[in-house]
Amino acid sequence: MNELRGVACGLLLLASAAACAPGGGASTALQCAREEPALDSEARLRELDLLAHHGPIIPTERQLDGIRQFVISGGHLGWCHDRFRDNDIRRTGPLVPIQSRTDSTVADTALGTHARVRVYYSDAVVDWLRNGRQGPIPDGAMIVKEMYPGLPGAMDERVDGWAVMVRDSQASHDGWLWYLYYRPGNVPYKLPFESGQYGMSFCIACHASADRESTFAFVGNLTSKDVTTFVELPGRPGAPGDRPPDGAHGRLAETFLSRAAELVQEAPNSLEKDLFPWLLYRPLHTPRKHLNGFPELFDVPGIEELARREPRTLPMDAAYDHVPPAADSGEARPFVTASVCSGCHEAADLLNGTNPEMTVAVGEHSFDKLQFPLALDDPKLAALTPYGEWSGSLMSVSARDPVFRAQLESEMANYPAHAGDTESFCFGCHAPMGQRTFPHLEDKLDNSYQIPDDIDPDRNAEAALFGALSRDGVSCAVCHHIADENLGTPASFNGRFVTGPATELYGPYQHVKTMPMQAGLGIEPLHGAHLAESGLCGTCHMVKAPVADDEEIDSAHEQTTYLEWRNSDYADVSAADARTCQDCHMPTTNPLSPAGAEPTRAQIANIEDSSFPHSANRRSSHDLDAEVRTGYRRHTLVGINLFTLSFFQQFPRALGSNTFYPVRAMSAVVSPKALAMEEMTRLAQRDTARLEIAGVESADDTLRITVRIANLAGHKFPTGVGFRRAFVTAELSSDDGARVWCSGCSNGLGVITDGRGEPLPSELPRHSNAFEPYHAVITGEDQAQIYESRHVNAGGRLTTSFLELDREVKDTRLLPKGWDPAAYPDYEMNPVGRPIADPPHVETFVYAVPLAVARRASKLSLTLNYQALPPYYLIDRVALLGRERGSEKFPESQRLLHLLSHLDLEGDSAARAIRGWKLEIARAEQTLGW
């Protein structure tokens, strides 16, 4: 159960289903309805000692247990409570006719966040209400909301669960510990539900709209004054749909309870231990139980035994990667995790009967071209939300990326004298929030060459904060906290961006509503035009790494993507085809519209505004009602690295990265990691490169095939880290499909082979120290056209270590349109080993096939393939395991080995798009009419 402590939305299967439904004791002649105390509530609260005192990011198990037992035993029953309607149970919204999504039936639905409630207030809250809601609510005060399901008279009046607020002004800016509990037997699924968190974004998304103290508590409700209820029906945009009449809180619980009921028989071990990860971290696509062929590539003793060994799992993000704003919002904590942003900038089902903002109907849209299912359920909506799409991108898992972790582990193991500097250097872009908040901890918390994964704030609160911030990767607050200073200049490269004050975040819009974010987070959203500039991306996509042998001897560029874009026509703002990084990687169109061309249109936040049923003490519509934006930028933030994303789809538990985050609109929303796979494939096959057969002619007993490839990207292709590569497969086949001749063919593991199926020397560089040169003319099956960058170390050996990039011996990558070879001479970005074409972005070369061989073929096929993780690179990444047997010393390498060895590359899975460990970018075919 320790694993579930402080979980954003967890399940607790209690041994006892006992719960106490409060009775309706007679009210006294006080200014509020107060029942005779059944218990000494104030004394009980003192005993519970619920306050955090030091403000850890995760409530302790003792705190959650104390609140649960307090409400179950009726510790609040002696307090004043609301007087309203039937049996003092009030609806929180009107009944409105809602048409079902699936048929034409119309039924009255309770439009509101909660269904029916009775709210109790501790004496400190009552005193605050009687004082006109003036001044702060004292720490230790509590509000207990009993929640009742269904419509009046439709069900019995047993309480379904409790929503509790415990005042703790020292824990987070909003000043509350939020707690939600649904008792056993509350719905037919019979399973309890518990959630407890400081700064819980699902709650704050509504409660930040209150005029003060994050509560709408109204003194009139204590005195039976029904003067503020449902003065008008809301006009919330978005298509309505069938929803259970239990309010948003009920739907949040129902999402997990219903899924739990379906999975009870499937859960592998003890339900109490495994149900939470089983629900939130269930693979979108099932990995292989038995080893695939990858271990055969790795020259490591006992490799199969190591590959079968279960890796150490990373902390679950939904449980542990949550850092709300500090109570003082000071410089000591300049960043918050994305979970804090998720309540308002995700598809949160806050209002019963409507679809959340920024969701679009899936309708008849089919993802069949990827040939894998979207999600565990039948999704009806796609969430084009900032948080949702970011969470499906590799930006969100940059610090959990098993490839990055294995690379970092090997760099630090091979060069221990530089370990601290190396970790700091890499964290600057992969884990910037932890690195910048606690720079003094980088080389102290963990000596096993991994990002610190401490999750126990009682043992070390600073370490837990550092780990949570680090694991959140390139989070919302990273980019939106960057100030407009030095962007696009060398001073900002290598992740050396300048951040603004902790109380400010920057976005692309003017005239935004600032009050909800200021009230809930203590942060003011400000206009920052620089958020739309490519220089913002250049801070981490221009990287010059130190080169070390026994000592640092030089430095070399690990990637130059930003300056590659600068050295292209796309950077010319006056040109018709000018495009920024954001234009390609943050599209403004709805992908489910015809041809994906319809612009996005919605508010960019889900909050409680004037479209909700009227509530007392809510800010004015002027403070809350956000402008509807047309063409808002989606946070897809994807490249075409389907390879790494497949790890997160098939091994979410091992990597601690959930496939379904609790605040999403029930289970009707497509998993963001599935939507990201679609976006990656779209980008790869539509906007990356064009391949064509420019000519086929025979002369001098030779069939000459001219190939033309145009780079459509705004930078080199491939770009980024040097080990990415593309290669061309040219295949001649007979009428029956038999292969007659092939250059650039590959086996099932993506290893490029010759005509006999043997790996080319370039594929096993540790044995051959050879790379495949550029070919203007390819004359044999033992030659292949590979577009890549290769380096050697100071000893002349080919290397994939970033600390050994002594000299580039090959760079044949495709150039972008408008490349100027004289630009940026200090950055050595021109091709190595091949000439610059005219125009630079169009590559032409020839296959020369013996005519006697070619005449046996009837079909010519050309394919441009991409590999984000070539096999030769993966061989290097697991090489540490051959140094010392066992996985304990090198856990990151062992984890990557296990994932690679069990990845499903063949079945109906996400990885099917990269079957054969290659992604098809473009294809051309021609019939040979002999």
Question: Could you tell me the pLDDT band of residue 288, with boundaries at 50, 70 and 90?
Answer: very high
Averaged over 530-539, what is the pLDDT? 97
In three-state secondary structure terms, 577 is coil
Task: Report pLDDT for 498.
Answer: 97
Question: Tokens 């056993």 label which residue?
Answer: 184
Q: How many CA atoms lie within 13 A of 810 on its CB side?
A: 22
Distance CA 292, CA 525 (A): 49
Give 249's contacts (C-beta < 8 A, 6+ positions apart).
113, 114, 147, 161, 163, 180
709 within 8 A of 694, measured Cβ to Cβ: no
**How do residues 175-226 score in pLDDT, each as one tens digit?**
999 999 988 776 555 677 888 999 999 999 999 999 999 999 988 888 776 5
Please tell me which residue, 612 or 111, carries the higher pLDDT value. 612
Does 878 score more than 90 pLDDT?
yes
457 φ/ψ angles, rounded to the nearest 5 degrees: -70, -25
Phi, psi for 372 (deg, rounded to 5):
-150, 150
pLDDT at 329: 56
How confident is the model at residue 272, as a pLDDT? Answer: 45
Q: What angle do CA 82, 86, 92 make, to 5 degrees?
A: 60
HEC sequence for 850-885:
EHHHHCCCCEEEEEEEEECCCHHHHHHHCHHHHCCC
CA 596 to chain centre: 22
Q: Which sign, positive or negative, has the C-alpha torsion 633, 635, 639, 640? A: negative
- When computed from its CA atoms, the radius of gyration of the chain, rounded to whole angstroms, is 30
C-alpha 658/C-alpha 277 separation (Å) is 8
Q: Round the average pLDDT of the chain to a whole number and report it.
A: 84
DSSP string, 10-29: B----S---------PPPPS
CB-hemisphere CA count at 13 Å for 629?
Answer: 19
| Residue 294 near residue 874, CB atoms below 8 Å | yes
pLDDT digits (tens, 9 = 90+) for 914-923: 999 999 999 9
Report whether 61 contacts 2 (CB < 8 A): yes
Q: Which two tokens stand for residue 292?
A: 């695939």
**CB atoms near residue 649 (< 10 Å):** 26
* Nearest C-alpha neighbor of 784 from the set 688, 852, 880, 863: 863
Q: What is the dihedral of CA 114, 118, 123, 125, to 10 degrees?
A: 30
Confidence at 17, pLDDT banded by 50, 70, 90: very low
Residue-level pLDDT at 577 = 86
User: Does the pLDDT at position 310 exceed 80?
Assistant: yes
Query: Does residue 375 surpass a pLDDT of 50?
Result: no
Q: What is the mean pLDDT of residues 679-702?
A: 94
Compute the distance between CA of residue 484 and CA of residue 506 in angstroms, rounded to an integer: 10
What is the model's pTM? 0.92
Torsion of Cα atoms, 530 then 532 then 536 then 537, to 10°: 180
Max avg pLDDT among 97-106, 389-398, 409-418, 458-467: 389-398
**What's the CA gap between 141 and 138, in Å, rounded?**
6
What is residue 364's predicted lDDT score, i.e. its pLDDT? 60
- Secondary structure in 3-state letters for 152-208: CCCCCCCCCEEEEEEECCCCCCCCEEEEEEECCCCCCCCCCEEEEEECCHHHHHHHC
Report yes or no: 175 and 55 within 8 Å, Cβ to Cβ.
Answer: no
Q: Which of 156-165, 372-381, 769-778 has the lowest mean pLDDT?
A: 372-381
Contacts of 99 (CB under 8 A, 6+ apart): 105, 106, 240, 241, 242
Q: Is residue 38 over pLDDT 50? A: no
| 671 touches 392 (CB < 8 A) | yes
237 band by pLDDT with thresholds 50, 70 and 90:
very low
Alpha helices in 483-631 (DSSP H): 515-521, 534-538, 561-566, 581-585, 621-624
pLDDT of residue 150: 65
pLDDT of residue 381: 82
Is residue 104 very low, low, confident or very high in pLDDT (cuts 50, 70, 90)?
Answer: low
Backbone angles phi, psi at 733, to 5 degrees: -135, 155
pLDDT at 853: 96
